[in-house]
Amino acid sequence: MDERMNWISARAYHLWECAGRPEGRNEEHWLQAVAERELMERTRASHDGAEVLARNAVARAATKTKAGRPYTVLVVEDEAFLRFDTVDVLENAGFRTFEAANADEALILLENNKVDILYTDINMPGSMDGLGLANKVLSLWPKTKIIVVSGLVRMTGVHPVKGVSFVAKPVPPDRLLRLVSSRRNAVSSA
């Protein structure tokens, strides 16, 4: 047998063992092993994921400033699950994050921490909405780049004020990372 068939056989056997060695399901495990091998070949992935770890290391290095500290993103979102998901995606990519449920909490964090990028929802409870927060941040911390998101207001594109972008919700993880990375690049060049 060649290396490919050895790999498929070993993987099918492993899947069968993990399933508790059920009788009559050999074909199911074999087909899964074949599908995994074909995906690995199509994506040119290694069996141990070494190239994924290498790409992640490069991506994490790209989340650091010239001074070596991670770029900091403040996520302001009143819907807790959306906020948690956004923070998880950013932290897993190597960004340092702060989170706030409204503009009032965000202003306290901004006063006490270096924030490179503000990611804020428009509609929030409290003394001001996300647009009010964005305007306040622009006046007090003009180097902070801003991403404003909304599921209700349909503004998209770049705001006439340099450093502000508008995006419609929902924002999938890959788009979120592209947005923050593009804002990060704007921070680097500012």
User: Who's near 182: CB < 8 A, 6+ residues apart?
Assistant: 165
Sequence-ordered list of residues with C-beta below 8 angstroms from that of 163, at least 6 positions apart, any chain: 138, 142, 144, 145, 146, 183, 186, 190
Tens of pLDDT, residue by residue over 9-50, are 888 888 888 888 888 888 888 888 888 888 777 776 666 666
Flag whether pLDDT at 182 surpasses 70: yes
**62-116 pLDDT, tens per residue?**
566 666 678 899 999 999 999 999 998 898 888 899 999 999 999 999 999 999 9
The residues near 85 (Cβ < 8 Å, ≥ 6 apart) are: none
Separation between Cα atoms, residue 153 and residue 131, nearest integer Å: 11
Q: What are the residues whose beta carbons fall under 8 Å from the beta carbon of 133, sequence distance 6 or more? A: 76, 103, 106, 107, 118, 120, 124
pLDDT of 108:
94
pLDDT at 34: 86
Q: What is the mean pLDDT of residues 121-135?
A: 90
56-189: CATH number: 3.40.50.2300
The pLDDT of residue 92:
85
162 pLDDT above the threshold of 80: no
Which amino acid is present at 44?
A: R
Look at strands 72-76 and 117-121 and give their pairing.
parallel
Residue type, 87: V
Q: Rounded to the nearest 5 degrees, what angle is found at the Cα of 172, between the Cα atoms of 131 and 51? A: 130
Average pLDDT over residues 122-142: 91
Determine the pLDDT at residue 114.
92
pTM of the predicted model as reported, rounded to 2 decimal places: 0.63
Over range 149-164, report the average pLDDT: 64
